A and B are shown apart, each in its own frame.
Chain A
Amino acid sequence: MAANYDTCKNCNTPLVSDEISLNRKLISRNCVTFLCIDCLAEYFKADREVIVSRIRFYRENGCSLFK
Chain B
Amino acid sequence: MSILAKTPPMGWNTWNTFGWNINEELVKKAADAFVENGLKEAGYEYIVIDDCWSLKERDKRGRLVCDPEKFPKGMKYLADYIHDKGLKFGMYSCAGTHTCAGHPGSFEHEFEDAKTFAGWGVDYLKYDYCYKPDHIPGEILYKRMGTALRNCGRDILFSACNWGNDEVYRWIRETGAHMFRSTGDIQDNWESIKNIVLSQIGKECYSGAYCYNDMDMLVVGMYGKGDNNAVALGGCSDIEYRSHFSLWAIMNSPLMIGCDIRSMTKEAIGILTNKDVIALNQDEETRGPYCIRQWNNPEKVIAFVKPLSDGDFGIGMFNFSETASEMSLQFWDIGLSAAAGKGLSLYDCWEHREEGAFKERYVCTIEPHGCRVFRGKVIDL
A residues touching B (Cβ–Cβ < 8 Å)? 24-30, 43-46, 50, 53-54, 57-58, 61-64
Contact = CB atoms under 8 A, between A and B. Distances in A.
Interface stretch (B77-85, B188-196, B263-271, B273-281): B188-196
Interface string B178-195: 000001110101111001
A25 B130 CA distance: 12
Nearest to A31: B184
Given A29-B165, A62-B102, A64-B131, A46 B189 contact: yes
A62 B230 contact: no
A28 B184 contact: yes
Given A30-B165, A61-B20, A64-B131, A46 B233 contact: yes
Contacts of B100: 62-64
Contacts of A46: 189, 233-234
11 contacts: A27-B192, A28-B195, A30-B165, A43-B191, A44-B189, A44-B234, A50-B233, A57-B229, A61-B19, A61-B20, A63-B100
Nearest to A64: B130
Interface string B218-262: 000000000001100110000000000000000000000000000
Contacts, number: 58
A63 B131 CA distance: 10
Interface residues of B, number: 24
B101 interface: yes
B164 interface: yes
A13 to B, nearest CB: 20
Contacts of B20: 61
Contacts of B233: 26, 44, 46, 50
A64 B164 CA distance: 17
A26 B102 contact: no
A18 to B, nearest CB: 15
B365 interface: no
B230 A27 contact: no
Contact of B101 (A26, A28, A29, A62): A62
B229 A53 contact: yes
Nearest to B130: A64
Contacts of B19: 61
A44 B187 contact: yes
B290 interface: no
B234 to A, nearest CB: 5
A28 B185 CA distance: 7
Contacts of B309: none
A29 B183 CA distance: 8
B241 to A, nearest CB: 16
B120 to A, nearest CB: 25
Q: Which of A44, A45, A53 has the most CB of B within 10 A?
A: A44
B111 interface: no
A28 B233 CA distance: 16
Contacts of A54: 229-230
Contacts of B102: 62
Nearest to A25: B185
Contacts of A58: 230
Contact of A26 (B131, B164, B190, B192): B192
Given A64-B130, A64-B131, A28 B199 contact: yes
Contacts of A61: 19-20, 101, 230
A29 B164 contact: yes
Interface in B93-125: 100-102
B191 A44 contact: yes
A30 B184 CA distance: 8
A30 B164 CA distance: 8
Contacts of B101: 61-62
Contacts of B171: none
A24 to B, nearest CB: 7
